[in-house]
Each structure stands twice: as structure tokens, then as C-alpha cells.
Amino acid sequence: MFKTPHLNPLEWLSAIVLVVGGLNWGLVGLFEFDLVARIFGEEFGTTNTASRIVYVAVGISAIYTLLGLMRMEAMTSRTEREYDRDRVAAPRGT
């Protein structure tokens, strides 16, 4: 069964913003349709202050998520090294 990851509110917000940004880029790539621009009254390829705020939020969310993934990788690598160290140090036959 799927378990919901334990994310803090900022991580959830970042995930939601990344999904919105990803879907928007998919629409741009497939159909040359920029949903964010349309929502804020602009045409494809143009921006206003509101749409730029959304685009910047997507970029910040990507950086925040990337840093979180790097932190998780570092923690996982450290945990694996500790496990390997403990396994080698354990006496055989136990």
C-alpha cells in the first residue's frame, strides 16, 4: 500500500509548484500552450508580473528540491557506510 511521505509544509508546497511547472512545460512542448501565461491574461511567449512570480517560484522549488535530494543522498551514503562498517566489525557466527 502507498504510504504518504512525511514532508514538511514547505516540501509539499515545493512538490505542488514543481508539478504545476512540469505540467505547464509539457503543455508548452506538446501544444505551444502556456497555461500560466493564459491564466494571467498573456499570450504564449509573453509575461507579466504575476506569471513571472509563478515561473520564479517553480525555479526556487526546483533548487529547494534538488538540495533536499542531495541531502538525502548524503544521509543515505553515510548510513550505508555505517552499516557496512558495523557488518564488517561484527564477529562471525552471530
CB 81 within 8 A of CB 37: no
User: Who wins on pLDDT, 88 or 31?
Assistant: 31
Output the nine-digit C-alpha cell for 80. 550505508
CB 10 within 8 A of CB 64: yes
- 11-67, pLDDT tens digit by residue? 999 999 999 999 999 999 999 999 999 999 999 999 999 999 999 999 999 999 999
- Is residue 75 domain-resident? yes
pLDDT band at 80 (very low <50, low <70, confident <90, very high): low
Q: Report the domain count for the chain.
A: 1
Nearest to 40, CA basis, from 23, 53, 28: 53
- Is residue 68 domain-resident? yes
- Is residue 15 domain-resident? yes
Nearest to 59, CA basis, from 22, 5, 28: 22
Question: Which residues constitute the domain of residue 47?
Answer: 9-88
Please tell me the predicted confidence (pLDDT) of residue 14.
Answer: 94
- Is residue 94 domain-resident? no
- Is residue 93 domain-resident? no
Q: How far apart are CA 35 and CA 24, in angstroms?
A: 6
- Is residue 37 domain-resident? yes
